[in-house]
Amino acid sequence: MALNGAELGLAWATPFAGLLLSIAVMPLAAPAVWLHHFGKIAAAWTAALLLPFTLAFGAAATGGMLAHTLIEEYLPFTILLGALYTTAGGIYIRGNLQGSPTLNAG
């Protein structure tokens, strides 16, 4: 079953927004909690999407969405990051270089 993401309501983005806010705010607001429980917090936001999605659209649609996300989005992105890391890992720059925000943004 193919789902058109444009037809989903804004409420389906709430777990993603919550995860982004957790990543941004929790390390500053509650560093000890975030340090010890960030995996559980991420899993809770994931469940906050997957459980209602499964109830609304069925297990087949959820499985298809997960397979699409892992195979067609996550895996190529991971391979790209690995290739960039491998390529950049052999580059060595020497010199009297001092990084600054002005230099980096210029």
Q: Domain limits of the chain?
A: 11-57, 59-88
Question: Model-level pTM greater than 0.85?
Answer: no
Confidence of residue 4 (pLDDT cuts 50, 70, 90): confident
* First CA to last CA distance, the chain: 48
User: Which phi and psi angles does 99 have, rounded to 5°?
Assistant: -75, 145
> What proportion of the chain, given as a percentage, has pLDDT over 70?
98
The confidence band for 1, taking pLDDT boundaries of 50, 70 and 90, is low
Q: Quote the DSSP letter at residue 70.
A: I
Q: What digits encode the pLDDT tens for the residues 12-63?
A: 999 999 999 999 999 999 999 999 999 999 999 999 999 999 999 999 999 9
Q: List phi, psi (to 5°) of 98.
A: -125, 115
> Please, what is the average pLDDT of the chain?
92
Q: How many helices (H) and strands (E) does the chain have?
A: 5, 0
**Angular region, 29: left φ>0, alpha ψ -120 to 50, beta rest:** alpha
